[in-house]
Amino acid sequence: MFLIFDTETTGLPRNWDAPVSDLDNWPRCIQLAWQLHDEKGRVITHQDFLVKPNGFDIPYDSERIHGISTELATADGVDLEQILVVFNEALSQAKYVVGQNIKFDLNIMGAEFLRHGQEDPFKDKIILDTCTEVTAELLKIPGGRGGRFKLPNLTELHSYLFKQPFSEAHNATADVEATTRCFFELLRNDVFSPQDLQVDKAFVEAFKEDNTELIQAIGLQHINLKAASAKLKVKEVR
């Protein structure tokens, strides 16, 4: 199965090359969302959690990006230890872990597992990223390093594949839905090869036979996190 996931966090690392074991370097997860799909691309389950910020606050600069305030996460969040149990159960069913610029999210969650005394759950998974030099070559956006094409962000990739914008970026559940749609469309168009998936050609051909038309989103309703945070602050003022 394929597990596609995304996080929202308290910020960015000081050192992008630091090991996941450098817990002071890696920001905290404040939203975790994922979808689990079978080998034909059919959704099995999906989850979305705000994380209760136990022992830390969410900086305002980060809140401005994703809309999750300390107050909202405290009111609606779940203890991360409980979330990790559910996430681990989903991971145990997956052969593939998929994401957009996934190394960041792997490090964020890897650090969270370590903080809770657990091993890295991703080490035996096949990791697939929708943000690579391959997708950069596909979109051909100028401005990359060393004269290469720019690595596409999720909005750019979604717009290229589906000819429509993706406006809800930086809400993990919306990002997961867009990433899932992009990934399966890339697989349908042979951008991910059997070698990438470590399977024979028949696996990919079976997927394509079941998905002959443009991949559609599953149609989740996404909470407007900025509005939810603002509403909570208005209540507190009153």
Hey, where are the domains in the chain? Answer: 2-230
Q: pTM of this prediction? A: 0.93
What is the bridge-based pairing of β-strands 43-50 and 2-9? Answer: unpaired
Distance CA 194, CA 199 (A): 5
Predicted confidence at residue 222, as pLDDT, reads 79
Enumerate residues 6+ apart whose C-beta is below 8 A from 136.
144, 148, 149, 150, 151, 152
Topology, domain 2-230:
Nucleotidyltransferase; domain 5 (3.30.420)
Which residues, given as ranges, of the chain have pLDDT below 70? 167-169, 233-238
Predicted confidence at residue 217, as pLDDT, reads 87
Predicted confidence at residue 169, as pLDDT, reads 64
Enumerate residues 6+ apart whose C-beta is below 8 A from 93.
1, 3, 36, 44
Distance CA 45, CA 47 (A): 7
CB 22 within 8 A of CB 73: no
What is the bridge-based pairing of β-strands 2-9 and 96-99? Answer: parallel
Predicted confidence at residue 229, as pLDDT, reads 84
Predicted confidence at residue 234, as pLDDT, reads 62
Distance CA 238, CA 58 (A): 22
Predicted confidence at residue 235, as pLDDT, reads 62
Predicted confidence at residue 223, as pLDDT, reads 77
